[in-house]
Every structure is written in C-alpha cells, then in structure tokens.
A and B are shown apart, each in its own frame.
Chain A
Amino acid sequence: QVQLVESGGGLVKPGGSLRLSCAASGFTFSDYYMNWIRQAPGKGLEWVSYISKSSSYIEYADSVKGRFTISRDNAKKTLFLQMNSLRAEDTAVYYCARDVKVAGPGWLDPWGQGTLVTVST
C-alpha cells in the first residue's frame, strides 16, 4: 500500500539544524511532486515547501525561505527537509505528503504520520 514514513525529528536548540526524511513505498516515487506541511502545537496546518519530480521546480513558504531546503533522492525513494537557523516558532509536527496531479494543480494524498520538531533551550 502507499505509505510515507517521516523520521529525523527531535529537540534542537534555537539556531541549530535538523534534517528530516520521508521514506516512500507502494508507488513510483519519481512520478510525483512531494510536499512538506507543518502544524504547530494546537494550531492549524501550514504548507512549507514542495519539490517537482526531477527537483527542477521548488517552492517555499516565506516563513522558511532561506533557512529550509527541500530535496529528494528518487533512487532511494526519499524526501528530505534540511532545516537550518531553527527558531522557537518552527516547533511543529512536520508531515510529508504526496502531491497527486492529473492535469494542473493537485491535492495531497496520502500524508505521513508526522515527526515532531521541538526548538527550545
């Protein structure tokens, strides 16, 4: 079955770095755009970034631009999010999600279970 499993979350000090991974299975990873979305504790969903199938097209939310880098390894069916210069406001559960496009803009399905990132002293 189609599955996404995130890993790499944890506790990090302000200004620190963390690299999240999202392992995909059950589908042809290289055929899909992929996304990162986050959710701060008790808050709503915030779209973070997406990457095209061949990594040629990437977009970021303004809140993470210049600090976070999305990438992918199609051979290893894995999505990454390198997070630098972390701030307290980056504390959230980070989800990866597959972007399903038929013709034009798409939708997110499925989502992984999420990995918690806590930025604190």
Chain B
Amino acid sequence: DIQMTQSPSSLSASVGDRVTITCRASQSISSFLNWYQQKPGKAPKLLIYAASSLQSGVTSRFSGSGSGTDFTLTISSLQPEDFATYYCQQSYSAPHTFGQGTRLDIK
C-alpha cells in the first residue's frame, strides 16, 4: 500500500499569512494527488485535484503543486474561513490512502 505522510500535523498561523502544507508519498504516484478541506462536523470538500487543478468554485488563494512523491498545498493569504483540517489523498492505486491530516489553527 502507498503511505501518505503530511507535514506538519498541526500549524498555527495568522490571518494574512502564507501557509504551505506538504504531502509525501511512499512511492511515485505521478500527479494523482488530491487535497481536501474539512471543517468540524462537516464532510470534506475537494480543493485541488490532479495535484494542481483548482476545483470549480474554490478560491484562488489555494494552489497545489508537485509530482512523483512530493506535493504541496499553499494558501496565499489566510482568511478566517480557511482555518480547518487539510488532507491529501492519492488515487494512483487502491487502497486510495489519505494523509493523516494537517490541522490549521488561528495563532
């Protein structure tokens, strides 16, 4: 199985900060990497698919990059509504494993 490792596991930041979350796969997954945002008590929401494609309706503050084993999610200027938990997921091969999540808190 492909293991997905996110870093950091938690992060405190301020409104207006630029934030980067990293996701590393245990083997190459090409660009088959997706990012989701989850707020407490809610279902996850797709942000980025295929490593760098912004889902329709998602603010351009979010961007994704990477291929192979190393990927990043960047939030260009944090807004209050961005404080949430973020998960990466590989869809290269089953089981379609998720990273352990990165909790983004207000500093």
Inter-subunit contact A108/B98 (CB<8 Å): no
Known: A47-B89, A95-B43, A114-B43. A107 touches B50 (CB 8 A): yes
Inter-subunit contact A47/B96 (CB<8 Å): yes
Number of interface residues of A (CB under 8 A): 24
A61 at the interface (CB under 8 A from B): yes
CB proximity of A98 to chain B, nearest CB, Å: 10
B55 at the interface (CB under 8 A from A): yes
Q: Interface majority SS on A: helix, strand, loop or mixed?
A: strand
B residues less than 8 Å from A62 (CB atoms):
1, 95
Residue of A37, A45, A109 near B46 (CB, 8 A) is A109
A residues less than 8 Å from B98 (CB atoms):
37, 44-47
Inter-subunit contact B44/A45 (CB<8 Å): yes
Chain A positions 29-49 with a Cβ under 8 Å from a chain B Cβ:
35, 37, 44-47
Inter-subunit contact B95/A47 (CB<8 Å): yes
CB proximity of B25 to chain A, nearest CB, Å: 13
CB proximity of B73 to chain A, nearest CB, Å: 14
A residues less than 8 Å from B32 (CB atoms):
104-105
B residues less than 8 Å from A112 (CB atoms):
43
A residues less than 8 Å from B99 (CB atoms):
44
Chain A residue with minimal CB distance to B29? A105
Chain B positions 1-57 with a Cβ under 8 Å from a chain A Cβ:
1, 32, 34, 36, 38, 43-46, 49-50, 55
B67 at the interface (CB under 8 A from A): no
B residues less than 8 Å from A107 (CB atoms):
34, 46, 49-50, 89, 91
Inter-subunit contact A111/B87 (CB<8 Å): no
Known: A44-B100, A47-B89, A105-B32. A111 touches B45 (CB 8 A): yes
Q: Can you list 20 contacts pairing A with B, beta carbon distance less than 8 Å?
A: A44-B87, A44-B100, A45-B38, A45-B98, A47-B89, A47-B97, A50-B94, A60-B95, A62-B1, A100-B49, A106-B49, A107-B91, A108-B36, A108-B44, A109-B46, A110-B45, A110-B46, A111-B43, A111-B44, A113-B43
